[in-house]
Amino acid sequence: MKQSHDVIVVGAGPAGATLAYELAKRGIGVLVLEKEKLPRYKCCAGGVTSKAAKLLDFDISEVTEDVIHEVSFTFNLGSPYLGQDSQPLIYTVMRDAFDYFLVQKAQQLGAVLMDGQKVTQVQVSADWVEISTADNVFRSRLVVGADGAYSVVARELGMGKSIGYAAGIESEIVVPEEELAKWKSRVQIDLGCIPGGYAWVFPKRNHLSIGVGCQASKTRDLHAHHQKFLNSLSIDNYTVTKSSSHLIPTCTKGRIVWQDKALLLGDAAGLADPLTGEGIYNAILSAQLAAPVIEDSLVRGKVGLQDYQEIVERKIMSELKMARTLSKIFVRFPHLAFGMFNQSEGVWRAVCNLMFGEIDYTAIKGRVGEFKGIFNRLFRA
């Protein structure tokens, strides 16, 4: 017999878990289908920016590994620019614990989780959506694809167009305690050691997450760049406990994120930031934008989910467009991008305010004259 639900969410990452939480809060029946058994590892640096944490209406300290107050920017591992702030800039998390924590918040409000259920087929008819896994067929009034970069929902419904990709490698690295202590509350971002991207060190409670990421078109030597970065950190005696790579999808112009009975969220919609690769913020935000649209449709009888497209374009895609423009400049002139930090304290303040969510890329556009002046000075030099 087919199980019926109001909404089926495919994927229990930050996007799917947040939508389940928001729908359950509104009294809407929601089933989350997740292919892995939870908690599951996710290839990610695990940086939850302050602005991302602020979106949630609960505290995440239970699953926070470290609180970051300092960013050490380097260019090709040269002398660092140290940016600091007394406010938390980033919370580092392990995604198995963080994502499961979000799912549990949804379950506490009545959302149902079925893990170990890999969705293989999605079929939309006039009245229902039918969603198949290896052992079950489910029915729902709406389906939401929150199933990440390789979204089966997007593929099944022919919604996989207008996406560009970055790619990243992430290693979980156990280091001696004295080494770990050096990284407390500090992340490192290196521009220049990999073309078209950057490398990072994110400290966790008992280890370091070290990775590199770049535009997918430039990934030929991703592993070699990762190893080179690791070697250059001069960490004696380390153990790699996990190493994996994954795509980071960023949408391009014309991306459609809805159909009559379907929506896409987070990475499935291609909403990661093309400049930084940050995807958790927009995963959570897209879920929070989707919830009232779904409520309008299911509870108030409003036909269609197209309002979601409009609000995602206004609140997220316009920002991604700005980020893409900045990313093109930084990819082409990474040394100048790095050089800007030493030219004006305003550059670091702008980065902090972006992480706090106090300004967005559109606000940066308003200050373009100021930043262009610095950039041109560096360019001439």
Residues forming the site for ligand FAD (CB under 6 A): 10-16, 33-36, 42-47, 118-119, 146-148, 152, 168, 170, 211, 213, 246, 248, 266-268, 272, 277-281, 283
Query: Shortest Cβ distance from residue 38 to ligand FAD (Å)?
Result: 8
Cβ-count burial of 262 within 10 angstroms (0-12 exposed, 13-18 middle, 19+ buried)? buried
Q: What end-to-end distance do the CA atoms of the chain give, in Å? A: 72
What gap in Å lies between CA 327 and CA 321, rounded to an integer? 10
Query: Shortest Cβ distance from residue 12 to ligand FAD (Å)?
Result: 5
User: What is the number of the residue whose Cβ is closest to ligand FAD?
Assistant: 279
Per-residue CA distances from 53 to 44, 83, 90, 255, 281 (Å)? 16, 20, 9, 27, 8
Q: Which is nearer to ligand FAD, 157 or 374 (CB)?
A: 157
Q: Which is nearer to ligand FAD, 83 or 266 (CB)?
A: 266
What gap in Å lies between CA 150 and CA 165, rounded to an integer? 11
Q: Which is nearer to ligand FAD, 65 or 278 (CB)?
A: 278
Query: Shortest Cβ distance from residue 171 to ligand FAD (Å)?
Result: 10
Query: Shortest Cβ distance from residue 182 to ligand FAD (Å)?
Result: 20
- Counting runs of H as helices and runs of E as strands, what totals does the chain give? 14, 18
Q: Which is nearer to ligand FAD, 43 or 291 (CB)?
A: 43
Strand partners, 246: 168
What gap in Å lies between CA 186 and CA 318, rounded to an integer? 31
In the numeric block, the tokens 């609140």 are attached to 315
Q: What are phi and psi of 3, to 5 degrees?
A: -85, 135
Q: Which is nearer to ligand FAD, 85 or 99 (CB)?
A: 99
Query: Shortest Cβ distance from residue 217 to ligand FAD (Å)?
Result: 16
Query: Shortest Cβ distance from residue 376 to ligand FAD (Å)?
Result: 31
Query: Shortest Cβ distance from residue 284 to ligand FAD (Å)?
Result: 8
Q: Which is nearer to ligand FAD, 170 or 339 (CB)?
A: 170
Please choose, from the candidates 224, 222, 310, 321, the residue with its C-alpha nearest in 3D space to the C-alpha of residue 271. 321
Q: Which is nearer to ligand FAD, 153 or 364 (CB)?
A: 153
